[in-house]
Amino acid sequence: MSREGNARGSRVTLHVVSSLDGFIARKDNSVSWLDAHGSVYEAGVSISQEEIAAFIKAIDCYVLGSRTYEHALELGWPYGDTPTVVVTGRELPPARKSVEFYSGDLKTLVNENLAPRFRNIWLVGGAMLCQRFLSLGLVDEIRLTIAPVLLGDGLRLFGGLLTEEKWNLKNVVAYKNGFVELTYAARTV
Ligand SMILES: NC(=O)c1ccc[n+]([C@@H]2O[C@H](COP(=O)([O-])OP(=O)(O)OC[C@H]3O[C@@H](n4cnc5c(N)ncnc54)[C@H](OP(=O)(O)O)[C@@H]3O)[C@@H](O)[C@H]2O)c1
């Protein structure tokens, strides 16, 4: 599948945290499994608050599905004042000035609405929106953070995808708390 990332001059990064067995949410939506579990991987790296802040500052825009948006509002808004686009077919109240809503074709969203305004676009869930972006070839990079836990049941990140696609591994970072971040780039042909 060909990618439009280079042509449009912006990059869409899909970033989510998954359990070892491929779930991104429990059925009851509880998120305690996302916390560090007391697992210590001595050879892993740790990053400072300054490094995290610099990293987050480089993100130009977040894109999320409406269910992820509603959950984020319940848990405490993690996206600061960074522009955030919520994809929904409903009329939802904007929780913050930085939030805008979008309904409709996702290629148009990326190529005509986002790409002219933002370079570093982060798609942060949930499963439904990520699967739609992937099946339309709109994801340039996947950053998958694997938490050291088996959940057994829940919402599958890649559950609805039906076609085989090969991706190129670009980076692996193992953290001291046992989480591992895998970065993959889409193949351009
Ligand atoms: N572990 C992680 O890193 C992580 C990350 C993100 C989310 N999550 C979890 O994942 C769960 C939510 O994921 P989810 O898969 O259920 O839902 P989701 O992808 O967050 O949202 C799905 C909603 O997005 C809207 N949507 C999708 N495509 C659309 C389109 N083309 N046009 C218009 N609207 C569209 C629809 O909204 P309407 O129904 O409003 O029309 C749809 O119901 C939550 O529990 C959340 O906490 C986990």
In the chain, the amino acid numbered 177 is N
The ligand 1 atom at the shortest distance from the C-alpha of residue 102 is: 33
- Rounded distance from Cα 66 to ligand 1 centre (Å): 5
Question: Is the pTM value of this prediction over 0.85?
Answer: yes
Question: What average pLDDT does this structure show over 152-160?
Answer: 91
Pocket test for ligand 1, best of 62, 67, 146 (most atoms within 8 A of CB): 67
pLDDT tens per residue across span 54-83: 999 999 999 999 999 999 999 999 999 999
Nearest CA-CA partner of 10 in 128, 181, 140, 170: 140
pLDDT for residue 95 is more than 90: no
- pLDDT of 16 > 80? The answer is yes
Q: Is 67 in the pocket of ligand 1 (CB under 6 A)?
A: yes
Computed over every residue of the chain, the mean pLDDT equals 93
Distance 60 CA to ligand 1 centre (A): 20
Tokens describing residue 118: 């933002």
Whole-angstrom distance, CA of residue 144 vs CA of residue 122: 12
